[in-house]
Amino acid sequence: MGCAPKKALNDSGPIFLADPTIFLHQDTYYLYGTTGNAEQHDQGGFLVYTSKDLDTWEGPAGMKDGLALKEGDAFGDKGFWAPQIFEYQKRFYMAYTANEQIAIAVSNSPYGPFVNPSRQAISSPLRQIDPFVFIDEDGRKYLYHVRLDQGNRIFVAELNEDLKGIKEETLKECLSAQLTWENRQEAAWPVAEGPTVLKHKGIYYMLYSANDFRSPDYAVGFATSQSPLGPWKKSNRNPIIHRSIIPHNGTGHGDVVVAKDNDLYYVLHTHFNDTLVQPRRTALIRINFANNGEGPDYLEIDTQSFRFLETSGN
């Protein structure tokens, strides 16, 4: 896996990562996300923090100034957003957004450095963001992502074996923001984004966020499908995370992590406070599958488990 970098000195305090993701490898959790704020775009890559128990966090711990991916080592020179980490053929991959395009970088360690020597993005005729790579039980790899076309709309396509492009003939739209809770401001550019996909009892579940991230009504719902390519059916229980459920504005755009004890958690961001969006705070909440009678199980959250993530200092 490679050696961990020397720990940087840091004070204890809140972690400010938006669009967060947590990757578990061996006995360590690795937390990544969008750094800085949307107006400033980023801090030139992606920070990484580490934990043994999801409660006590240390870092930044990336190989380059706390960064797991640093500008210059991979595609992009601005807008480093929404990373996701996955393991494939004994190496670690980071799917991420930069310059409003999607790229995939590779490393021998979750600490990085993640590199993309070609500095090429995955080809697309449109701006595209928020990648999520799902590897199914049959080994097929799917790229869920958002295309910016008359709104933020979630798509899926099967990835080529080299992870450098998609099989264009498999490209399908999954869902867009059409319901009242998904567009509280009745914006002309509706937003559905931040897809995360997992499989449970043969059913595919997609968690996604809706509304502009700057809205206090940014929220999370889920949809189900019998195929990774859809069609997708939105739950009538949506939204499952919203400021009316958790008393914080701007709750959304996260990822699912299966903990060491097999419990499920959703890592997400919130607004800084009731009046300021930035910097967005990183939080964690437990989620569960619940029996739905004759239909597929549904997702529910444990509101009492919500907590903000903080570094412990060292």
Sheet with 128-135, side-by-side order of all strands: 128-135, 141-148, 152-158, 172-175
Element of type H or E holding 51: strand 45-51
Which residues are within 8 A (CB) of 89 and not within 5 positions of it... i.e. 6 or more apart?
Answer: none
The torsion of the CA quartet 174, 138, 103, 282, rounded to 10 degrees, works out to 70
Total length of the chain: 314
DSSP reduced 3-state for 301: strand
- 8-state DSSP, 280: P
Q: Which of 283, 238, 290 is nearest to 257 (CA)?
A: 283
Q: Give the CATH class of 13-311.
A: mainly beta
pLDDT at 293: 84
Q: Which of 219, 200, 45, 74 is nearest to 134 (CA)?
A: 200
DSSP string for residues in 28-91:
EEEEEEE-S-TTT--SSEEEEEEESSSSSEE---BTBTBEEEETTSSS-SS--EEEEEEEETTE
The answer to whether residues 219 and 208 touch, using CB atoms and an 8 Å cutoff, is no
Q: Which residues pair with 95 in a beta bridge?
A: 84, 104
Which residues are within 8 A (CB) of 161 and not within 5 positions of it... i.e. 6 or more apart?
Answer: 141
CA 167 – CA 187 distance, rounded (Å): 32
Work out the widest C-alpha separation in the chain, in whole angstroms.
Answer: 53
CA 157 – CA 11 distance, rounded (Å): 42
CA 123 – CA 30 distance, rounded (Å): 29
pLDDT at 4: 58
With left for phi above 0 and alpha for psi between -120 and 50, is residue 250 left, alpha or beta? Answer: left
From the first residue on, what is the mean pLDDT of each consecutive set of 10 residues in the chain (314 residues)? 52 91 98 72 83 97 95 96 97 98 98 96 96 98 98 98 96 98 98 98 98 98 98 97 98 98 98 96 98 91 98 76
Cα Rg of the chain (Å, integer): 18
